[in-house]
Amino acid sequence: MAEQPRFLIVDDEQEVCNFFSYLLKQKGYAAVTANTGAEASARLEQYNFATALVDLKLPDANGLDILREIKNVQPQCEVIIITGYSTVKSAVEAIQLGAFDYVEKPFVDINEMEHLLDRSLNVKEESEKLSLARQELGFVVGNSQKMLGLVSAAQKIAKKNITVLIQGETGTGKEVLARYIHSASHRCDRSFLAFNCGAFTETLLESELFGHEKGSFTGAAQQKKGIFEQANKATLFLDEIDSASPAIQIKLLRVLETGEFLRVGGEEMCKVDVRIITATNADLAAKVADNRFREDLFYRLDVASLTIPPLRERPDDIEIFIDYFLKKESAAKQIPIKLFTDDALAVMKKHRWPGNIRELSNTVAQALLLCKGALIDVEDLPERIRKNTAEPEQILQDTAEGKNSNGVLFSGIVEDGAGLNGLLESFQEALFESIKIRDGFDFDLFCRDINQWRDSLIAGIIEAALEDTYGNQVKAAKLLGITPRALRYHLQKARNNRK
Contacting residues toward ligand ATP, per CB under 6 A:
138-140, 168, 170-176, 281, 357-358, 361
- Whichever of 151 and 308 has its CB closer to Mg ion, that residue is 308
Q: Which helix (H) or strand (E) is 108 found in, with range?
A: none
Min. distance of Cβ 166 from Mg ion in angstroms?
9
In angstroms, what is the minimal distance from the CB of 488 to ligand ATP? 15
Nearest to 162 by CA among 280, 7, 274: 274
Q: How far is the CB of 484 from ligand ATP (least distance, A)?
A: 18
Question: Smallest distance, Å, CB 292 to ligand ATP?
Answer: 19
Contact partner at residue 51 from Mg ion, ligand ATP, none, CB < 5 to 8 Å by partner kind: none
Phi-psi region of 440 (alpha: psi -120 to 50; beta: other; left: phi over 0): left
Exactly one of 12, 39, 175, 323 binds Mg ion (CB under 5 A); that residue is: 175
Contact partner, 37, from Mg ion, ligand ATP, none, Cβ < 5-8 Å per class: none
**Cβ-closest position to Mg ion:** 175
- The whole-angstrom separation of Cα 334 and Cα 376 is 17
> CB-based burial of residue 216 (10 Å sphere; 0-12 exposed, 13-18 middle, 19+ buried)?
middle
Backbone φ and ψ for 102, nearest 5 degrees, come out as -135, 155
Q: Under a CB-based contact definition with an 8 Å cutoff, are residues 236 and 275 in contact? A: yes
Residue closest to ligand ATP, measured at CB = 173
Residue 358 touches which of ligand ATP, Mg ion, none (Cβ within 5-8 Å per kind):
ligand ATP
Biggest CA pair distance of the chain: 94
**Under 8 Å CB-to-CB from 449, ≥6 apart: which residues?**
none
Q: For Mg ion, give the closer residue by CB, 155 or 280.
A: 280
Beta-bridged to residue 102, according to DSSP, are 81
Taking the least distance from each CB to Mg ion, the nearer of 239 and 380 is: 239
- Report the partner that residue 357 touches, choosing among Mg ion, ligand ATP, none (CB closer than 5 to 8 A by kind): ligand ATP
Residue 138 site contact among ligand ATP, Mg ion, none (CB < 5 to 8 Å, cut-off depends on kind): ligand ATP
- Cis geometry, peptide bond prior to residue 106 (ω within 30 degrees of 0): yes
Which lies closer to ligand ATP via its Cβ, residue 63 or residue 173? 173
CA distances to 92, 268, 460 from 417, rounded to whole Å, are 56, 60, 18
Could you give the CA distance from residue 317 to residue 328 in angstroms, rounded to a whole number? 17
Site track for Mg ion across 211-250, x = CB under 5 A: ----------------------------x-----------
Strand pairing class (304-307; 164-167): parallel
Residues in the chain: 499
Q: Residue 94 or residue 357: which is nearer to Mg ion going by CB? A: 357
- Nearest approach, Cβ of 292 to Mg ion (angstroms)? 20
User: Which residue, 83 or 472, has its beta carbon nearer to Mg ion?
Assistant: 472
CB of 240 to Mg ion, least distance (A): 8
199 binds Mg ion (CB under 5 A): no
User: What is the nearest approach in angstroms of ligand ATP to the Cβ of residue 361?
Assistant: 5
Cβ distance to Mg ion smaller for residue 124 or 499: 499
Question: Residue 186's closest CA among 60, 275, 78?
Answer: 275
**Sign of the CA dihedral 282, 283, 285, 290?**
negative
Report what 170 binds from ligand ATP, Mg ion, none; CB cut-off 5-8 Å by kind: ligand ATP
Number of shown-chain residues binding Mg ion (CB under 5 A): 2
DSSP annotation of 5? P
Closest CA to 471 of 482, 487, 451: 487
**Listed residue (285, 267, 189) closest to 235, CA to CA:** 189
168 binds, among ligand ATP, Mg ion, none (CB under 5 to 8 A by kind): ligand ATP
Among residues 51 and 278, whose Cβ is nearest to ligand ATP? 278
Nearer to ligand ATP, 140 or 158 (CB): 140
> Which partner from the list ligand ATP, Mg ion, none does 281 bind, CB cut-off 5 to 8 Å by kind?
ligand ATP
Nearer to ligand ATP by C-beta: 140 or 304? 140
- 171: partner contacted, choices Mg ion, ligand ATP, none (Cβ within 5-8 A by kind): ligand ATP
Least distance between ligand ATP and beta carbon 388 (Å): 22
Q: How far apart are alpha carbons 176 and 160 in whole angstroms?
A: 19
Q: How far is the CB of 239 from Mg ion (least distance, A)?
A: 5
State the minimum distance, in angstroms, from the CB of residue 433 to Mg ion: 41
Long-range CB contacts (< 8 A, 24+ apart) of 338-346? Answer: 338/368, 338/371, 338/373, 338/374, 338/375, 338/376, 339/374, 339/375, 339/376, 340/375, 340/376, 341/375, 341/376, 341/377, 341/378, 343/377, 343/378, 344/375, 344/376, 344/377, 344/378, 344/380, 344/381, 345/319
Query: 82 or 306: whose CB is closer to ligand ATP?
Result: 306
Residues that bind Mg ion (CB under 5 A): 175, 239
